[in-house]
Amino acid sequence: MTNAPSINWTNASVRAFAKNADPLTAIEEAARALVLKAREKGWEGPPYNPLHIAEMLEVQIEANSSVADARLVATESGPKVEFNPQQPRERVRFSIAHEIAHLLFPDWSEQIRNRGGDKTPDDWQLEMLCNLAASEFVLPIGSLSAATDIPPIEDLMRQRRDYDVSAEAFLIRLAKISSQPIGIFVSSPTVSESGTRHYKIDYFIGSPTAPKMRLSGMAIPNESIVHRCTAIGHTDRSVESWVTDKPTQIECVGLTAYPGSLYPRVAGLVRFDQAQENHRPIRLLHGDVLAPRNGGKKIICQLVNDKAIKWGGGVARKIAKRFPDAEKAFSEKIMQIPQSDRLGRVIFSEASDDLIIASLIGQEGFGPSLFPRIRYAELQTCLEQVADHASSIGASIHMPKIGTGSAGGDWSTIEEMLDDVMVRAGLFVTVYDIPPKRAQLELF
């Protein structure tokens, strides 16, 4: 797989910039030169504010809420970047850095560079290079320490909040300084005439200890988990063999789409030293439990209290809205059980031919309480019933972090119960958490 086709560089701006050099190498060198010059002038972080580079290049910066993300325009007094201040802060930083990167191209003033506007078919090449340069600007050389242990992708997405940078920028820098053999690829989708989505690798960056590979331009197999990261911030992981021809662990996260595209790009973290035996038994993903990953039959679990006759707030409300007939079936069944006999019971409601909603009655009462309302023993009994049912029908199990909301449960305890009851029984368990919230712009 190391002999993947390279990118056929056709974009006029890219060709004028790189001349006979490799554009990927040329953009990194150009961005790095600006970064080092800025550091010499006292630029510090994190977070590293791209306004410092803009000031150094005498670029005007102006807020404009009518702009989708940001745009670079040529004015009589020089280049000006307009940005949308209503976007999340990390996106504002990255968008401004992206527009500054356009200044590296000799023809930047020939048209308005509008991040979020209409593009020609090969403008993704220009956008990709500007994203790479922007990553250098918002998380420059020397801003991260060499990592000896790379945590799961979900933890990385939380860590990058400390640096106030995009997922793409953080993963790129991580790959460049990691002492573990890892690689980061960023892929983008194309849609065929039949409406089928296909992903190809835009660029790949390996750590110093990773195998030397040339993956840019490579088509990603349609069965890869890359195709399952269908929203920004959603994650997934799997062991796949298309990268190295050997089982290799890949963890993915959805990224902001290229301008003009309806579908997100996807970043992948490749762990070259880990295969199936290192795979975490419980998949902890960022995403929507109502869009469970995997094919085949699935069971979605939710925790309910012993007084409930309908599904309440939070995830339960969303499930009720999505599957009203399943909620009606739950109500009919629970009304037939005396309240004193409900704890420890599971009510299975069919939502579709391949999806079942399992309501685990493991919470006593509801509302304010001096003590947690979760009942661990009864919850374990519920989990055992779900495990038996999943085994009998060959279903995978999906759930939010049950018991950690109004029930007041401890997730570490519940997670160990899941491992004891379900994972050790050979069942496939996925737990969904919402992606970390992005901070809005307060003072840029």
Sequence-ordered list of residues with C-beta below 8 angstroms from that of 318, at least 6 positions apart, any chain: 290
pLDDT at residue 74, as a whole number: 92
Opening angle at CA 268, ends 184 and 231, nearest 5: 140
Model confidence band, residue 178 (pLDDT cutoffs 50, 70, 90): confident
H or E segment to which residue 283 belongs: strand 282-286
Domains of the chain, by residue range, sit at 1-138, 144-280, 285-433
pLDDT at residue 117, as a whole number: 45
pLDDT at residue 3, as a whole number: 47
Residue 206 in contact with residue 227, Cβ under 8 Å?
no
- Cβ-in-10-Å burial (0-12, 13-18, 19+) of 20 comes to exposed
**DSSP secondary structure letters along 66-93:** TSSSEEEEEETTEEEEEE-TTSBHHHHH
* Ranges 7-16, 37-46, 264-273, 286-295: which has the least confidence: 37-46
Start-to-end Cα distance in the chain? 44
Q: What is the mean pLDDT of the chain?
A: 87
Opening angle at CA 62, ends 51 and 141, nearest 5: 20
- Asked if the model's pLDDT at residue 273 lies above 70, the reply is yes
Higher pLDDT pick, 66 / 147: 66
* pLDDT tens figures, 209-247: 888 888 888 999 999 999 988 889 999 999 999 998 889
Higher pLDDT pick, 257 / 342: 342
Higher pLDDT pick, 5 / 401: 401
pLDDT at residue 1, as a whole number: 44
Architecture of the domain whose range is 1-138: Orthogonal Bundle (1.10)
Global pTM? 0.70
* pLDDT tens figures, 77-111: 999 999 999 888 888 889 999 999 999 999 988 87
Report how far apart, in Å, the C-alpha atoms of 128 and of each of 188, 252, 321 are: 10, 18, 39
* pLDDT tens figures, 335-362: 999 999 999 999 999 999 999 999 999 9
pLDDT at residue 280, as a whole number: 52
pLDDT at residue 425, as a whole number: 85
CATH number of 285-433: 3.40.220.10
Using DSSP's 3-state secondary structure scheme, residue 120 falls into coil
Helical spans, DSSP H, in 160-310: 167-177
